[in-house]
C-alpha cells in the first residue's frame, strides 16, 4: 500500500466572479506521507483556507487534481466524497462549524455514528475520552452557543480526531487558545501521529506549533514554498 495519504498535482484555483481574475493557488504540487505533520503559514488572504477546502474536496479546483488515500476526489460523486471524508479525513474549520442544536458530546460522536461501525455507547465513551483530553469534561452536555470561542474550537478539534482519520486538516486550530491548552492540543496531535500514523496539515500563525511539525511551507503568490 502507498505511503502517500494526500497528493495534489497542478492544483489551481482562480476566483473570477468579479471584474478581475484572482489566482489564489497557482499549479501546486504537494504530497503528504503517512504520519507526517505539516504546517502551512502565510499572510492573511494568501489562500490558506482556499487550499484546505480544495484538499478536503469541499470546493472544486479550476484545474489540477487532489487524491486522498489514492482516490481521485474529482472522480467521485458527492455521496462518495462524503464517505471518503468521513472515513479518512478530519477537518477543523477556521470558524469551527459545530452543529448548533447538538451538545458538545453529540457533535464529537457524530463522525463515529455516521460510520455505523460502533454502538452508540462506544461512540459516546470514545467522544468523552477525547473531550477529556482537550480539557472539556465539565462542558460535554452544553450546546455550542453555551460555550466560549476556545471551547468550541476544542470541540471541533475533538470531533476531527475522534475517528482516528488518516489525515486531519486544521485551519488555525489553536488561534483562540491559551498557551497551556494549545500545548495540550499539540501533544494530542503528536501522540496520534505516532500511535495511529495520522497525518496533519495545519494552517497556523503560531510559530511554536509550526516549529513542532515535520515540515513547514509558506503559501506565497499561489505557491507553496518549503522552509
Ligand X SMILES: Nc1ncnc2c1ncn2[C@@H]1O[C@H](COP(=O)(O)OP(=O)(O)OP(=O)(O)O)[C@@H](O)[C@H]1O
42 contacts ligand X (rule: CB under 6 A): yes
| Interface stretch with ligand X, choices 46-54, 66-74, 116-124, 180-188 (CB under 6 A) | 46-54
- Cβ contact 173:184 at 8 Å: no
**CA–CA–CA angle 80, 91, 84 (5° rounding):** 15
Closest separation in Å from C-beta 181 to Mg ion: 21
Which residue's CB is nearer to Mg ion, number 92 or number 127? 92
145 contacts ligand X (rule: CB under 6 A): no
Question: Which are the contacts of 44, defined by CB distance < 8 A and separation ≥ 6?
Answer: none
How many helices (H) and strands (E) are present in the chain, helices listed first?
A: 7, 10
Which residue's CB is nearer to ligand X, number 141 or number 220? 220
The phi, psi pair for 9, rounded to 5°, reads -130, 125
Which of Mg ion, ligand X, none binds 24 (CB below 5-8 Å, type-dependent)? ligand X
Q: Is 123 helix (H, G, I), strand (E, B) or coil?
A: helix
95 contacts ligand X (rule: CB under 6 A): no
Which of Mg ion, ligand X, none binds 14 (CB below 5-8 Å, type-dependent)? none
Interface of this chain with Mg ion, residues 18 to 57, rule: CB under 5 A: 49
The residue behind cell 480526531 is: 161
Give me the residues that bind ligand X (CB under 6 A), please.
15, 17, 22, 24, 42, 44-50, 94
Amino acid at each position: 500500500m502507498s505511503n502517500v495519504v494526500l497528493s495534489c498535482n497542478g492544483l489551481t484555483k482562480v476566483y473570477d466572479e468579479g471584474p478581475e481574475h484572482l489566482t489564489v493557488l497557482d499549479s501546486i504540487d504537494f504530497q503528504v506521507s503517512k504520519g507526517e505533520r505539516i504546517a502551512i503559514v502565510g499572510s492573511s488572504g494568501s489562500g490558506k483556507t482556499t487550499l484546505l477546502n480544495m484538499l478536503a474536496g469541499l470546493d472544486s479546483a479550476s484545474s489540477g487534481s487532489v487524491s486522498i488515500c489514492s482516490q481521485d476526489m474529482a472522480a467521485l460523486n458527492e455521496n462518495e466524497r462524503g464517505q471518503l471524508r468521513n472515513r479518512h479525513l478530519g477537518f477543523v474549520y477556521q470558524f469551527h462549524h459545530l452543529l448548533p442544536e447538538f451538545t458538545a458530546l453529540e457533535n464529537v460522536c457524530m463522525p463515529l455514528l455516521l460510520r455505523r461501525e460502533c454502538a452508540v455507547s462506544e461512540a459516546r465513551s470514545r467522544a468523552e475520552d477525547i473531550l477529556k483530553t482537550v480539557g472539556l469534561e465539565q462542558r460535554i452536555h452544553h450546546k455550542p452557543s453555551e460555550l466560549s470561542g476556545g471551547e468550541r474550537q476544542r470541540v471541533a478539534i475533538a470531533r476531527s480526531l475522534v475517528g482516528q482519520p488518516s489525515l486531519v486538516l486544521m485551519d488555525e486550530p489553536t488561534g483562540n487558545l491559551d498557551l497551556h491548552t494549545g500545548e495540550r492540543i499539540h501533544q494530542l496531535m503528536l501522540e496520534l501521529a505516532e500511535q495511529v500514523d495520522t497525518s496533519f496539515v495545519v494552517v497556523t500563525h503560531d510559530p511554536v506549533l509550526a516549529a513542532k511539525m515535520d515540515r513547514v511551507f509558506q503559501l506565497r503568490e499561489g505557491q507553496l514554498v518549503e522552509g
